[in-house]
Structure formats: C-alpha cells, structure tokens
Amino acid sequence: MVPGGDGRCAYRLGVRILAHVDLDAFFAAVEELEQPELRSRPLVVGGDPQGRGVVSTANYAARRFGIRSAMSAAEARRRCPDAVFVRPRMALYREYSHAVWAAVREVVPRVERTGLDEGYLDLRSVIDDFARARPLAEAVQVSVRAATSLTCSLGVSTSKVVCKIASDRRKPGGITVVPPGAEAAFLAPLPVRRLPGVGPRAEERLAAAAVATVGALAALGDAELRALLPGAVGVLLRERARGIDERELELDAERVSISTEETFAHDVSDREALHAELRRMAVEVAGHLRRSGLVARTVTAKLRYADFSIRSRSATLAAPVDEAGRIGELACELLDRGLRDRPGALRLVGVGVSGLSGFRQLTFDDD
C-alpha cells in the first residue's frame, strides 16, 4: 500500500483501479441452469463419451477429477467414467453472455470484453477511492447473478496482469483485491508459469536457472535476464512479474469476429451434408450479426480432418454483409476450395465472419 493506506493517496497520484471479471465455469454453468438435473454430476462440455474431441470446460464436480479445458475427451473419460458429456451450444452461451455484459455495464460502464466469459472493467470510471473497490466488485457480482443466475469471480488491482491472476485466486464466486503497492508481493510466491506470457519453453529455461517463482523472475538482473529471456519479451515479463503493466482498456476491442463450428460424431465426406451444415451455421452467424447490429466483410470456412489437422479458407467482400444466404454460399465455396486443395473426410466444419462494422447492408429479406 502506498502512503495513506486507504487508496485515497493512490488515487491522487493517478493509480488506476481496474478489475478482471471471469465467469465461473461459464459453459458448464449455463448447461446446469438449462438442465438442473446435471448440477450434482460431473459435467463436461465438449467432446463426447466415445472420447472424440476436446474439453471446452467442465463444472467443478468434474474438475475434482483433474478434468480441465483443452484436455482430450478420451482422457476426461478415463479420469471420470461417470462424467456427463454435452455438446457446446454456442448460440445459447452468446445469449447468456449478452445478458451478463449488459448487467455488468449497469454497474461499470467502461468495459473491455476479452471473451464471452471474461473481460476488464475500469472501476475508476465509477469510484475515485480504492477503499470502495470491493463493494463495487460485489455490486457487479450481484447484478450478474440477478440477471442470469450465474456467478463470477473478480480480481481488483492497478494493472491488467495482476487483476487477471487475482480473479483466479478465489474461484468460484470470489473477489481478490490487491491494493496499490502490494502487487509485487502478491505475485512473488506464485509459480512462474502463472504469469501470462510464460509458456512451456520459457518455464523450462527459467527452471534450469532455479527461477521457479514470479518473485524470482522479478528479481533477475539485466545480464541474467538477457541470458535467460533475451530481447523485449524478457524485459516485458520481468516488468509484469513486478506487477507493472501499462496496458489500457481497449474499449473498442469487444468484438473482432463471430464464428460457430460443429464436430461430427463420425467423419463426414458427403459434400451435400457438409454444405447443409455450413448453411445451418451461416443462419446462426447471420442472426448474431443482426442482433448485434453488425455486418462483416470477411467470411471464413474452417475444416478439420480425421488426423486433427486444420485448414481454413477466407474471402473478403467489397461490401459488408449480414445475410445468411450469402454467408452460407461463400462458406460452401470456400469449403469446396479447401477440399480441392486437400481431399478427405472431415471431423469438424465451421463458419466465421470478421472485419466487423456497426452498420447493416439492406437486403430483399428486410421488411
């Protein structure tokens, strides 16, 4: 804590008051709301009982068995044979997400959404005193729960990196406040891999030099740092290990793309069936565009083959669109182009749009 101890001095010196909000096991929590009988059972969203695909998320009952995001469904099944597997329902999750962020903005209007289920808040747009940060974070939780029956966890501090790590400290439904001046001490005992940006290779190099904690990374001298993590990346990671992160909220970065995809129970090679699936997904994507008041310039088709390799093909239009027929037509053409380049049965197909802007292209489907 800086001099004064209550956050008032910190505010006068220009210290930011930020929060990272993270919905608790979001996809699984939505499924539990939609199907209350699943609440007491280990629940896995993504993959299937036969072991195909990967885990998108799991509820806390499943996490007690060590099941986590990005794990293969086969490994999840091995760890918990009684787990219930459900397919992701992205359209449903987007509806809940829209309600969540509307509720958040009722309390804190300045938001950077980094995903359906997480984002950063500028608490200083509402309060000027760090001592009031916890009550404001609690108000965000109350608003989200009242609107959606979902829970969220928040980390509050002066920088994005500290807020992000703090929001994971007391899940589910917790709040962790790291006041000004306490950032480095909060981070110091954590494993170095907890620091965003430290991947497996960097962790291995640091471990070889007995740098196992964030505090040890923060304490490295310039020469030691250059030897272990040369270049600007090393300097950036050391700064973040000290709790220093000058990134501002990107208020216009809320939505850069919209997409949906489907993993098949069996590999599919029938072209008409693949086209039908793409057209169905195009309707979903177009509906989301229209509900959001957006149009898109780029359409992308995603193909995953039986060996799990992924190919994507994209087309950028002269004029933006939000019309399902045009998006579906382009997606089918792109899929055909991808299959000409590499024939084979597909495990998954997807449709995405990007290059979004906030106006609509009128079509003959409009009233």
> Kind of pairing, strands 111-113 and 118-122?
antiparallel
Single-letter amino acid, residue 360: R
The single residue listed with the structure tokens 């000290």 is: 242
Element of type H or E holding 220: none
CB 155 within 8 A of CB 168: yes
Q: Across the chain, which distance is largest between two alpha carbons, in Å?
A: 70
* Tens-digit pLDDT profile for residues 289-332: 887 778 899 999 989 887 766 788 999 898 899 999 999 999 99
Q: Distance between CA 82 and CA 69 in Å, rounded? A: 18
Alpha-helical regions (H) of 127-167:
133-148, 160-167
CB 26 within 8 A of CB 160: no
Q: Identify the pLDDT of residue 300.
A: 92
CB 346 within 8 A of CB 303: yes
CA atoms in the 13 A half-sphere facing the CB of 311: 19
How far is the CA of 287 from the CAs of 161, 279, 290, in angstroms? 35, 12, 5
Q: Distance between CA 287 and CA 327 in Å, rounded? A: 11
Task: Quote the mean pLDDT of the chain.
Answer: 88
* pLDDT > 80? residue 2: no
Answer yes or no: 118 catalytic: yes
Would you state the torsion angle of the CA atoms of residues 89, 91, 93, 96, taken in this order, to the nearest 10 degrees?
A: -140
Q: Identify the pLDDT of residue 70.
A: 86
How far is the CA of 335 from the CAs of 81, 303, 306, 321, in angstroms? 36, 7, 16, 19
Element of type H or E holding 33: helix 26-34
* Tens-digit pLDDT profile for residues 193-248: 999 888 888 888 899 999 999 999 999 999 999 999 888 889 999 999 999 999 99
Q: Distance between CA 333 and CA 121 in Å, rounded? A: 41
* pLDDT > 90? residue 170: yes
pTM for the full predicted model = 0.66
Q: Distance between CA 103 and CA 151 in Å, rounded? A: 12
Candidates 75, 95, 106, 118; catalytic one: 118
14-36 CB burial, b ≥16 within 10 A, e <16 = ebbbbbbbbbbbbbbbbbbeeee
Q: Identify the pLDDT of residue 14.
A: 63
